[in-house]
Structure 1
Amino acid sequence: MEDIRIGGPPCPPEVAELRERVAAFVRERVAPCEPVLDGGGPRATAELGRLRREAKAAGLWALPLPAELGGQGQPLGSYAHLAEAEGASDHGPAALGSASLLDALMLRRHGSPGVRERYLKRLVAGELRACYAMTEPGTPGTDPFLTATRAVPAADGGWRVSGRKWFASGAVGADLVTVLARTDGDPPDRDGLSLLLVPTDAPGFRLLRELPVLGAAGHAEFELDEVAVAAGHLIGERGGALGIAGERLQLGRTLRCLRWLGQARRAFDLMRERAVGRSRSRGPLAGLQLVQRHVFESLLALRSTRSLVYEAVDRLDAGLDAHVEVGLAKVAAARTLQHVADAAIQVHGAAGLGPDTPLPALFRTGRAARILDGPDELHITSVARRVLRPDPEADLPGR
């Protein structure tokens, strides 16, 4: 079937061949393993390890990671096109070694010399796994000032950390967890929040349970009970957590948007194939106006969203503030994935609800996307407030 242009900037010629290789790897090797990977547990761990070895052998490992750390150093403007291809499967980034990008950049910029020496290259090589934990039970994840996890100074110059975190993505099997904790003041003080890198094998760290998201593994709840953390494992300055978190969030949300685009395109392609290939007594589904409407609305959403996402990519790549662009892109990409997956399920009928297509998983990711990385309401409010400032031009595209 003829390829349909989805809009936004075309893939640069120097990246196109690599993008096709990434897309083929995800399509032919990662996608068939999705049911096992979604289930979690030892089988998923073993399968992910195999995929990672194959990605390294294929020369596709750690594409956006810094070259001096063992990655391939793709700049954001180029990697964005690869991220779409990786993201066609929710497990693509982990299988191809790019899932560690945010943690590696954070540790390179803000980690102590000892932390950088001890962990960075092993993290990029896939020998260690890291995750990031802000949200706490009973506390809105959008309000970090209510963080109750506390780190108190220890006699040896380190810290003792106590608290509980949940919905930490990638916590199961992680070797390191970056924990948001209060080092000064009390909730809801706006100051006194710090980030600490906690080894998960430290005494007092206890994984409580996995938290499946709409049935899929990947998140967890854990407890810290007087966990001893060395002084050098404070990330950045004491009290400087929110500035570092802001760096992570803008890039992290943009990467998520790119990956959601890849999954939405996958759902769109499945819908087209079904519409053309599924025949009724009066001809193919593609001849029905309501099916044509599903295709039209999905293509409209994809083209509009891709342009928004690449506006965010361009501003981040240029080192500019992108709060408005990222907020618009995040809401649009989450909605688009859910909308296109839903339309594809509708065109498939009962087959779209069963285990023979990835559509249930794509719809699940789209629905969860509207809450994870900040709910739609947070981004809508944040963008609107910036636009409604007395000098809104300071936050609008082209400023």
Structure 2
Amino acid sequence: MGREVLAPRDGWAAEGAGTTGGAAADAAHDVTVRTRAELVRALDGGSATPRIIRIAGTIDANTDDHGRRLHCADYATGGYDLAAYLAAYDPRTWGGAKPAGPQEDARKASAARQAARVELAVGSNTTIVGVGADAVLKGASLQVKDADNVIIRNLELRDAYDCFPAWQPNTGGLGDWKSAYDNLWLRGATHVWIDHVTASDKGHPDDREPTHFGRNYLRHDGLLDITNGADLITVSWSRFTDHDKAMLIGNGDNVTTDRGKLRVTLHHNRFESIVQRAPRVRFGQVHLYNNRYDIPEGDQYRYSLGVSTESRIVAENNSFTTPGHIEAADLVKSWNGTALQQTGTEFNGFPVDLLAIHNAYNSGSERDLTPDVGWTPTLHGRVDTARQAAQDVARGAGAGRLP
């Protein structure tokens, strides 16, 4: 499996020369790793030498070079203390200014110590693949930055937990807690294939975290973010579960250098108990087909498809299963975006037109959407009915489920 390459026409990552990852690796660069230290050596600081890295068992990024488990207290430095931080920057006394001073300096220094452990750079011409059905990378933020030709398959990415979230005041309001780590971050990366990956907060769900300053003390950022001009990405047969903001494609309304990039295909993925961003898109040409959405119970759900600045989304034959209080109009949210082409959508077993429903229900508060996206997907496999795809995805998506 480590030498398998992306099939021709399988999404945007098949464009041009396609995506082969580390298939050309020699024997010396085809290694199996079982600890963080072995994984770091195998990654070699993001070297572009072709390499295949096979992950066996569970690797915890929050460990020292001898394999000892590290806790948040092990990273804390400079006198950082959460209680002192909360007392120093309570908006009722500190006001709406950005935190500054000894406790914020200590938080930044402590965060840097954790980042040095958990941020792992993936270089060009790399394949990372899980061995068997139980390969797990825990607590890590895999970062594919300005690299080309990368494959990540058959791997559970779990609990990229931030020990030191930052308080960010908002204009006209209290603010929000900002955490640092995505389970997987494609930043400026090109030709990347993500396949049969499971990503979640398993172990430390944010809904069990306390509330500070009137806001949930978030410990996680995204499950998979695709930003900073990343391009030619295929995400297939993967599972994103039990999380708030799952997937961001394009990181800012003003990042006009993203025009013509952020071309992403998402097919046969399962979004399960995801509150929002499944995905939210800026600028990108995104083909979204044969995905399954299982909307969470409760009142936290916000939306699934986010149509933002200059995004051009083609959504075909996707299935949504929701609790009774969720309406089809809730599935799509638009900001500055105007283009969504959709066909074959199934909502709780019934065919719906998300575009027509969005425009009918939200025209008073959001911009109307148009089906004119200006492009037609050509790089894709067979597009099944939403119902068939939902069944196939339930059986086959996620780590440990390769056929």
TM-score grouping bracket, smaller chain normalisation: under 0.3
Which structure shows the bigger proportion of residues in helix conformation? 1
Which structure shows the bigger proportion of residues in strand conformation? 2
